[in-house]
Structure 1
């Protein structure tokens, strides 16, 4: 995984996730820079997944948790609620409205994504750890 700093996504961050033929990460322990969640502000992150083959009919579901080991879900992102949007064959965009994160304390949020339009839901084979920060400028 690596962050594209070419500015090609305007104000959005683009994180490139390299996968093998089987869809699993080449290196699942690699840490990369990304866009932190600023509590109370909209968060948008684009993920470019190599070997992705997302059709226009692809649907997705992602859950954010404060730890992979806890049951409580901070927020669920889906294709239906606009939280996971297919941009093209290899690119997904994740979006969380600011009102969802407004009460989140500073911590790390964990997220992974599953494709839900196939006969069996299919995990995309990676997870992200996204820092959450309290803003200095608050509404």
Structure 2
């Protein structure tokens, strides 16, 4: 398992964001683990969202920019299956140690994960086209 963890860490790269002594454990996890994974998986998240929108009759693509932002947020918050799929794409890149830490505070970290992903997709809405 050590080889897997090393490979995962090498793929993800360095921590992103500010890390200091006052950082909470959740903030540390966010910057050391979540941000690098979200960056690594970014292109895949965009394609997964496009596929989701197409399967939902493509209504997303006809919306105004403001309504697209609301759609992204609503879908990720309300469609449990879709949210769990996205969550799995993130958790798959945890090391065993990170997973052990994650399960201790998963509720708070899940909120952070999804909020970060929502903001990431919203900031790239122009890339989400058929």
User: Which protein has the bigger strand share?
Assistant: 1
Give the structure with higher Rg (CA): 2
Q: Higher RCO, 1 or 2 (CA under 8 Å, sep at least 6)? A: 2
Greater helix share, structure number: 2
TM over 0.5: no
TM-score (norm 1): 0.26
